[in-house]
Amino acid sequence: MLKLQVMLDLIHQMPAFAILIIIAASMFVVIKGADYFVKGAGSVSAKFGISTFVIGLTVVAVGTSSPEIFVNIIAAQNGATDLSIGNILGSNIANILLALGISALFAPLAMQSRTVWKEFPYSLLAGVMVFVLGADLMINGSGDNVITRSDGMVLLAFFVIFLVYTFGLSKMKDDNDTEEEMEVYGWLRSFIYIIGGLFALIVGGKAVVESATVLASMLGMSQNLIGLTVVAVGTSLPEIVTSVMAVRKGFVDMVVGGVVGSNIFNVFLVLGLTALVAPLQFGKDSITDAFFLMFISIILFMAMFVGKKHTLERWQGAIFVLLYAVYILFAIWRG
């Protein structure tokens, strides 16, 4: 912890160009970590006979959500609740519009019917829960806009339900399911890839976030805007990079499962745990962001029935990336 604080103090004293170099180097670490993590997770899934989709919903989602968990709990302990909320909402927005959007630019993402009708609605429910629990004044007409500790317990209860459902999937086999072939390594090598990749994801993601946050502070950005943009994109780097690496290897189910699972974990697990640490005050900007998250979740669901059925095509991926750019510009404009 002392060494980490020394590193953070040094970053605060660095000029902007040096911070940019640290960000670039950290992103390289994240990219390599994601590559090896996908290899290890794919190998283990094949050894246990578990579908790549279930691995994406659990192992990959938890692993790539680790930066959000770490950043949010620290932020809550420091009283930076705007940063915590902005991080979760921004990460989920980036997961849908960037991770899936960029992945679709590499190759169309053909999704299983089960994913469209079961996992996507659960991800949408996560977005709705954030809005409902945070917009007390708008919904009830009185009270403070805050996600309380009891609300956090409700979110964690939904997380447990999701885990039970996910493990149930591992015992089911749909005749229409397609399984990608994965390279299988020895047990030791597989776990070294998973642990080493996860370590690189967390350390690299943390370095990106801290460096980018300092750089953004130099530009006078607000805490909410930093959380929604710099911190959110930084903590979403594992999801984005892992998705691109996975789709290039042909592991489409892992891409979709990882993104959907990460969004669900971010709300029910990360936000639930964060609310237990400290109640989260919701500002008007956070309400807007939560509404936008619900909106793009609906758009994602509708996209499954436009063009090729149950497929996110390249042109749709391009629209997703463009939509993200437009919303970030709006967030910067509002301050």
Residue-wise pLDDT tens digits, 46-81:
787 776 666 666 666 666 666 677 777 777 777 777
| Residue of higher predicted confidence among 265 and 236 | 265
326: CATH: 1.20.1420.30
Q: Which helix (H) or strand (E) holds 280?
A: strand 280-281
How many domains does the chain divide into? 1
Is pLDDT above 90 for 236? no
pLDDT mean across residues, the chain: 79
Q: How many CB atoms lie within 10 A of CB 286?
A: 26
How confident is the model at residue 323, as a pLDDT? 95
Which stretch of 171-175, 212-216, 231-235, 261-265 has the lowest confidence by average pLDDT? 171-175
How confident is the model at residue 327, as a pLDDT? 93
How confident is the model at residue 177, as a pLDDT? 46
Mean pLDDT of the region 20-45: 79
Is pLDDT above 80 for 213? no
Is pLDDT above 70 for 145? yes
**pLDDT band of 175, cuts 50, 70, 90:** very low
Mean pLDDT of the region 116-144: 80
Mean pLDDT of the region 81-105: 88
Most confident of 133-147, 176-190, 243-257, 292-306: 292-306
Mean pLDDT of the region 175-190: 67
Q: Which domain holds residue 132?
A: 2-334
**pLDDT band of 169, cuts 50, 70, 90:** low
Q: Give the helix ranges, DSSP H, for the chain.
A: 2-12, 16-48, 52-55, 61-77, 81-94, 101-106, 113-114, 120-134, 136-140, 149-169, 187-218, 223-226, 232-248, 252-265, 272-277, 284-303, 314-334
Mean pLDDT of the region 3-8: 56
Give the closest residue to 318 by CA, choosing from 108, 35, 49: 108
Cα–Cα distance, 59 to 66 (Å, whole number): 11
Give the closest residue to 262 by CA, choosing from 45, 122, 60: 60
